[in-house]
Structure 1
Amino acid sequence: MTSTRLRFTKMHGAGNDFIVLDGISQDLSKITKAQWQQLAHRQFGVGADQILLVEKPTVPNAEFRYRIFNSDGGEVEQCGNGSRCFVRFVREKGLTKNSTVLVQVAHTILSLTENDDGQVTVNMGAPIFDAEKIPFAPSHLNTKPEGDDTLYELPLLNRSVWISVVSMGNPHAVQVVEDVNKAFVAEDGPQIENHTSFPKRVNAGFMEIVNPHEIKLRVFERGSGETLACGTGACAAVVAGIRRGLLSSPVLVHTRGGDLSIDWQGQSQKESPVMMTGPAQTVFEGEVTLDV
């Protein structure tokens, strides 16, 4: 049996909770998938939706590299709420004095800014609609236009749902529901996540329109299940709503863990980035020994 002792910080962004690890001052290269699972386990570990790694960048023009592991141990491309916690962490730890930090993620460089009021604004980059890049295989699905968007009919076990599909660095399938509290999140979420139309699985969003500048949102996240908030999910939902003609920027997103503000000017500007502002909170710090 091998064991690894790690220093960690527990954080959350609107209830979406994270274990943040400094991979610059401690070696994380030998941590196994089983150990990530153990660390994220809510009964036998610290417990978290995702684990965030702070590392040295491997590309120019970035101050840090940012990696994300879901509670199932799988590495994913992006996490919006985690991005806000990331910049709060590196500033609290004295790893940078910059209020705006450029961070390397899987496919791009993010700009993260801690504001004077303690809120954090993240430039999430432009949304991706190209099916191959999402990735998404829609050839066998029924479609219908709505506004500037194309909706896809996704067959499930007991029903079919109409979804918008967009990537915010990770794939999202967003549907509009009448009442988010009555949405079939637990039933439909796993089916959508693992649907054959999504080769790398997908995050399933359930969006209730309150008014053109306000929504309620629940997200069943790929590899984590339903979380209290999902930053990329909030961005994807707002983008989908704007393209469908249902929303106008900026949009206040109510999640079960807190509120996020999303601004996207994509109606008038191609390649316009999505800007997300929300909270980031440190909960506690500690050390843990992982045994496998």
Structure 2
Amino acid sequence: MRIDFTKMHGLGNDFVVLDGRKQRLPALDAAFATALADRHTGIGCDQLIVLEPSEHGDFRMRIFNADGSEVEACGNATRAVGLLHGRPARIETLGGMISASPCDGGISVEMGKPRFDWDAIPLAYAMDTHTMPLAWEGLASPVAVNVGNPHVIFFVDDPYAIDMERLGPLIETDPVFPERVNVNVAGITARDAITLRVWERGAGLTRACGTGACATAIGAMTRGLVDRKVTVTLPGGPLQIEWREDGEIVMTGPATESFRGNFDPADYGLAAGSTD
């Protein structure tokens, strides 16, 4: 048994996509996801994306980080599978139901509504999520928001002056975040423009993070720093984020198919007959 895959990326945030609607897949676990994601001995990716049939939407999307952890949402991956699907779709995720549609700017994704309650982030104890009374060295008073997965956002003068490789994992694993957290450092450059770097939970410093762009835009909007439609520029490129009057977050940006291939699951420690 060989498994077909599609390699894709959104602004350099890359994925291995397995389509379980069209083929039987090996039983999924952290070790399998980590083996596929390894850039030296596997296919290599930031996240493993698995598509499955859904009783509630057009299909279900499961997301495994490079460290094997399964997470709730990934905006860039949603655009990628929207491109793969080729038409409007309602997608079931652990973070809730979202929608993706092809458009002139690539793929437009309705990401749902942001949540700000401390226990929805979640945090270890109650506090103000709009201006958290916490600091990690020079990074202080962040915004916390859940946009399908948890984010904390720091507004700074120069995001590229922050040592994210050191501070990112320190903040990600702080006990105040019982499910860990994605760490964003952002600079406001205009009423409609934000510069952003993201330390992604379970994946590390990334070229792009769709949910990070959404969370950061929402955090800046709630503080009155920007208007309700902005361009968020990450190292991999720009995303357009709009917070509609109905509360829905809409993200628009490109997605790209890199190549297709197949592999033998036995090469990754799985018996050929082991399937879901």
Partner of 2:184: 205
Distance 1:71 1:154 in 2: 29
Partner of 2:97: 109
Does structure 2 retain, via aligned residues, the 8 Å contact 1:175–1:206?
Answer: yes
1:17-166 matches, cutoff 5 A:
17-59=14-56, 62-91=57-86, 99-115=87-103, 117=104, 119-139=106-126, 150-156=130-136, 158-159=137-138, 161-166=140-145
Which of the residues 212, 223, 245 maps onto 2:202? 223
With 31-40 and 81-90 compared, the bigger mean Cα shift is at 31-40
| TM-score when normalising by structure 2 | 0.92
Aligned residues: 267
Does structure 2 retain, via aligned residues, the 8 Å contact 1:253–1:261?
Answer: yes
Give, as a single letter, the amino acid of the residue that structure 1 aligns with 2:141: W
Q: Shift of residue 161 of structure 1?
A: 1.9
State the SS of the aligned residue for 1:132. Answer: helix
Gaps of 5+ in 2: 270-276
With 21-30 and 247-256 compared, the bigger mean Cα shift is at 21-30
Does structure 1 retain, via aligned residues, the 8 Å contact 2:193–2:231?
Answer: yes
**How large is the RMSD of aligned CA atoms in angstroms?**
1.6
Q: Shift of residue 138 of structure 1?
A: 4.2
Summarize the Cα distance change of 1:43–1:186 in structure 2 as closer, same or farther, 3 Å threshold: same
Does structure 2 retain, via aligned residues, the 8 Å contact 1:153–1:160?
Answer: no
Gaps of 5+ in 1: 92-98, 144-148
State the SS of the aligned residue for 1:239. Answer: helix
Which of the residues 242, 247, 255 maps onto 1:280? 255
Partner of 2:273: none
Summarize the Cα distance change of 1:164–1:10 in structure 2 as closer, same or farther, 3 Å threshold: same
Q: Calculate percent identity across the aligned residue pairs.
A: 39
Summarize the Cα distance change of 1:171–1:280 in structure 2 as closer, same or farther, 3 Å threshold: same
Please tell me whether residue 237 in structure 1 is matched to residue 212 in structure 2: no
Q: Shift of residue 118 of structure 1?
A: 5.7
Does structure 2 retain, via aligned residues, the 8 Å contact 1:41–1:71?
Answer: yes
| TM-score when normalising by structure 1 | 0.87
With 105-114 and 7-16 compared, the bigger mean Cα shift is at 105-114
Q: Shift of residue 29 of structure 1?
A: 4.8
Distance 2:105 2:54 in 1: 25
